[in-house]
Amino acid sequence: MNQREIVLHLSLIDGIGPSAVQGIVAACSDNLDQIREKGYAVSRGEWIIDASGTAAPIFDQRGLITAAISISGPGQRFTDEKIKEMADLLVKETAQISFELGYYPR
């Protein structure tokens, strides 16, 4: 079991059967792969109803995520186009901060 699977297993609610856990872990893993590929994550009403946002990681010199920057706002104003615009800005700025912390992508 890799680190991602361990974290996902530990974060699940008790009482869920093993096959349900495997399905949830697989879905979350796919979602994390997409986030890694794009370089940012998007949230639409997941934490606060009618709020949306996007976040991008900051890497340290070892290539580990050490922080993140997020931008959020009311869902009705955070359209798909606005989220993409903000995400592109975040990825650019967090890449610069990561570089200044000694991170060099491979």
DSSP state, 101? T
Do 96 and 57 belong to one domain? Answer: yes
| Residue 88 and residue 73 in one domain | yes
pLDDT values of the chain reduced to their tens digit, one per residue, 106 residues: 666 666 666 555 555 566 666 676 677 777 888 888 999 999 888 878 889 999 999 999 999 999 999 999 998 898 889 999 999 999 999 999 999 999 988 7
Alpha-carbon dihedral of residues 84, 90, 96, 102, nearest 10 degrees? Answer: -110
Residues 62 and 105 in one domain: yes
Q: In total, how many domains does the chain have?
A: 2
Which class for 69: exposed (0-12), middle (13-18), buried (19 or more C-beta within 10 A)?
A: middle
| Domain range for 72 | 40-106
Distance CA 56, CA 73 (A): 16
> Is-contact 100 80, C-beta < 8 A?
no
Residue 79 and residue 34 share a domain: no
Tokens of 42: 């998007």
